[in-house]
Amino acid sequence: MPKPYKIFEYDYLYKNGFVTAFVFNNGVKIIGFINGDNFDLRVLTVGNNPKKKGFGQKALKYLRPKFKTITVNDIQKKALPFWIKMKERNLVDKLQTLKEGQHLYTLNQADLSREKVKNPETKPYWVNTFQYLYPDFDAELEYVRAI
C-alpha cells in the first residue's frame, strides 16, 4: 500500500544544536530536536490545510514509531485541546511547557483527574476557562520565566 504523501527530513543548525524538520508534501511540518530516541517537538503546523481535519494527527502517527518518547514544548494556549487529544491517543508522551505571549509555564502532569494550579492568585486568566472545559485534565502550572 503506498504512503499517502512523501516526507522529507531536514536538519538545521540552531543555536547550540540541530533542529530537525519533518516536511510532508501536503504542507504539514513538524519541527523539533532529536536526542537519541527522544523527540522534543516544538512546532506542528498544518500549513494551508484546514484545521480539525486530521492532518496533524496523521503526521504524528507517522512520527510516533520513530521515537520512544515524544515531548511537546512551547504549546500555545489555543492549541492545548489538540495536544491533550494527541496525548490521550498516545501520539505524544508528555506535554511539558505552555506559552502565553512572552511567558512560559511548565505543565507537570498528574493522573488526568482535575487541574491544580500553583500560586492561584497569579494564574493566567485562561486557566479557569481551561479548567472548566477540561475538568478531567490534571496538571500543575508553574511559571517559568518571561521569554
Q: In 3D, which of 12, 15, 13 has the Cα closest to residue 23?
A: 12
Q: Read off the pLDDT of each residue in 23-45 and give the average, rounded to a whole number.
A: 92
* pLDDT of amino acid 140: 53
Assess whether pLDDT exceeds 50 at residue 104: yes
Domain regions of the chain by residue span: 1-95, 102-147
Q: In 3D, which of 6, 34, 37, 8 has the Cα closest to residue 20?
A: 34
Distance CA 11, CA 19 (A): 6
Entry pTM: 0.70
Q: According to CATH, what is the number of the domain 1-95?
A: 3.40.630
- Report the relative pairing of strands 7-14 and 17-24 from DSSP bridges: antiparallel
Are the C-beta atoms of residues 33 and 13 closer than 8 Å to each other? no
Assess whether pLDDT exceeds 70 at residue 126: no
